[in-house]
Structure 1
Amino acid sequence: MHGISCGHTDMDLVVDWIHEYLGEDVYVKNMEIGDGYWNSIFDTMIDSVSEFANNIQSDPILSSAEKINIIAHSQAGVFGIPKLNIEWVDKLLQETPYIALAQKEVNPAQYWKDPLKYQDYLENCVYLPYLNNEVAKKNPDYRKNIISLDQFVMVKSLIDNTVVPKESAWFDFYDENMKVVSYNTTTAYKEDWIGIRTLAESNRLFYRTTMCQHKYYPRKEGLANFIKNTLPFLK
Structure 2
Amino acid sequence: MMMMQRFVGGFVVAVAVAVLVVAGSGSVAVAVEGENASAIRPTVLWHGMGDTCCLPFSMGAVKKEIEKHLPDIYVYSIMLGKNEIEDEFEGFFGNVNTQVDNICTKLKSDPNLKNGFNAVGFSQGGQFLRAYVQRCNDPPVHNLVTLGGQHMGVTDIPHCTATNATLCQLMAEALSVGAYVDGIRNYSVQAQYFRSAFEYKKYLEKNIFLADLNNERATKNATYKQNLASLNRFVLIEFSEDTMVVPRESSQFGYFKEGAMKEIVPMRQQPIYTEDWIGLQQLDKDNRIVEKKCPGDHLQFTMKYFLDNVISPFLNNTVTTTTTTTI
Shorter-chain TM-score above 0.5? yes
Which whole-Å CA distance do the structure 2 matches of 1:182 and 1:208 have between them?
14
Higher mean Cα deviation, 43-52 or 167-176?
Answer: 43-52
Larger relative strand fraction: 2
Asked whether 1:216 is paired with 2:303, we answer no
Which whole-Å CA distance do the structure 2 matches of 1:2 and 1:74 have between them?
7
Asked whether 1:109 is paired with 2:191, we answer yes
Partner amino acid for 1:128?
Answer: L
Asked whether 1:28 is paired with 2:111, we answer no
How far is 1:58 from its partner? 1.0
How far is 1:95 from its partner? 4.1
- Indicate how the Cα distance of structure 1 residues 215 and 207 shifts in structure 2: closer, same or farther if over 3 A, else same: closer
Q: Secondary structure at the match of 2:119?
A: coil
Higher mean Cα deviation, 1-10 or 190-199?
Answer: 1-10
**Equivalent in the alignment of 2:231:** 149
- Indicate how the Cα distance of structure 1 residues 138 and 19 shifts in structure 2: closer, same or farther if over 3 A, else same: same
Which whole-Å CA distance do the structure 1 matches of 2:204 and 2:173 have between them?
21
How far is 1:88 from its partner? 4.7
Partner amino acid for 1:28?
Answer: V
Asked whether 1:7 is paired with 2:58, we answer no
Listed as ranges, the gaps of 5+ residues in structure 2 are 1-45, 125-149, 317-327
Listed as ranges, the gaps of 5+ residues in structure 1 are none
Which whole-Å CA distance do the structure 1 matches of 2:265 and 2:282 have between them?
20
Which whole-Å CA distance do the structure 1 matches of 2:252 and 2:308 have between them?
17
Structure 2 length as normaliser, TM-score? 0.67
**Equivalent in the alignment of 2:98:** 47
Which whole-Å CA distance do the structure 1 matches of 2:100 and 2:230 have between them?
18
How far is 1:210 from its partner? 0.6
Asked whether 1:229 is paired with 2:309, we answer yes
Whether the aligned pair in 1 keeps the contact of 2:254 and 2:270 (CA below 8 Å) is no
Which whole-Å CA distance do the structure 2 matches of 1:229 and 1:160 have between them?
18
Partner amino acid for 2:97?
Answer: I
Larger relative helix fraction: 1
Extract structure 1 runs of 4+ deviating beyond 6 A. none
How far is 1:113 from its partner? 0.8
Kindly tell me the number of residue pairs found equivalent between the two proteins: 228
Which whole-Å CA distance do the structure 2 matches of 1:60 and 1:129 have between them?
33
Which whole-Å CA distance do the structure 2 matches of 1:69 and 1:159 have between them?
27
**Equivalent in the alignment of 2:13:** none
How far is 1:91 from its partner? 2.8
* One of 171, 175, 189 as aligned partner of 2:253: 171
* One of 132, 135, 138 as aligned partner of 2:217: 135
Whether the aligned pair in 2 keeps the contact of 1:212 and 1:225 (CA below 8 Å) is no
Identical-pair percentage: 30
How far is 1:92 from its partner? 2.9
Partner amino acid for 1:177?
Answer: A
Q: Secondary structure at the match of 1:135?
A: coil
**Equivalent in the alignment of 2:119:** 70
Partner amino acid for 1:36?
Answer: D
Higher Cα Rg, which structure: 2
**Equivalent in the alignment of 1:79:** 155
